Chains A and B, each alone.
Chain A
Amino acid sequence: MDPLGDLILARFNYWIYVVLMMIGLYAMITKNNLIKKLIGMSIFQTAIILFFVSTGVKEGATIPIIDHGEDHGSELVEAPAAAEHVPEGRGFDHEEALESDAFANPLPHVLMLTAIVVGVATLGVGLSVVQKVFIRFQTLEEDQILENIRTSDG
Chain B
Amino acid sequence: MKALSLIVVLFTGSLLLSVVSLFPVWGNPHSPANANPISQFYINETEELTGVPNLVTAVLADFRGFDTLFETVVIFSAGLAVFSILGRPKRKRGDEKPEEDDPSENLIVIQTCRLVIPIMQLFALYVIAHGHHSPGGGFQGGVILGSSFILWAIARNLPTALQRLSSRKTMILACAGVLIYAGIGVICQALGENFLDYHILHYLLPATDAIMARSHAMLGVEIGVAFTVSSIMFGLYAYLSSQGREEGGL
Contact = CB atoms under 8 A, between A and B. Distances in A.
Given A66-B47, A85-B30, A128-B240, 7 more contacts: A14-B17, A30-B2, A57-B26, A59-B27, A105-B39, A117-B71, A131-B240
- Interface on chain B toward A: helix, strand, loop, or mixed SS? helix
A107 B39 contact: yes
Nearest to A121: B78
Contacts of A81: 29-30
A79 interface: yes
Interface residues of B, number: 60
A46 interface: no
Interface in B73-96: 74-75, 77-78, 81-82, 85-86
A85 B35 contact: yes
- Interface on chain A toward B: helix, strand, loop, or mixed SS? helix
B207 interface: no
Interface stretch (B5-13, B114-122, B198-206): B5-13
17 contacts: A7-B20, A22-B12, A22-B13, A29-B5, A56-B34, A64-B54, A64-B56, A67-B53, A81-B29, A103-B43, A106-B43, A113-B56, A124-B82, A125-B82, A128-B239, A131-B240, A135-B243
A131 B12 contact: no
B9 to A, nearest CB: 5
B152 interface: no
Contact of B75 (A13, A56, A82, A121): A121
B44 A92 contact: yes
A50 B42 CA distance: 22
Contacts of B29: 58-59, 61, 79, 81-82, 85, 101
B164 to A, nearest CB: 21
B56 A132 contact: no
A72 to B, nearest CB: 12
Contacts, number: 168
A10 B2 contact: no
A128 B240 CA distance: 6
Contacts of A110: 56, 59-60, 64, 67
Contacts of B47: 66
Contacts of A140: none
Contacts of B27: 57-59
A78 to B, nearest CB: 11
Contacts of A10: 25-26
A14 B20 contact: yes
Interface in B1-59: 1-2, 5-6, 8-10, 12-13, 16-17, 20-21, 23-31, 33-35, 37-40, 42-44, 47, 53-56, 59
Contacts of A18: 13, 16-17
Contact of B43 (A25, A64, A68): A64
A65 B9 CA distance: 39
A35 B64 CA distance: 34
A65 B135 contact: yes
Contact of B26 (A12, A100, A106, A121): A12
B59 A128 contact: no
Contact of B59 (A57, A59, A107): A107
A25 B200 CA distance: 47
Interface in A119-148: 120-122, 124-125, 127-129, 131-132, 135
A56 B33 contact: yes
B133 interface: yes
A100 B53 contact: no
A105 B34 contact: yes
A130 B56 CA distance: 35
B144 interface: no
Given A18-B16, A121-B74, A96 B44 contact: yes
A2 B75 CA distance: 47
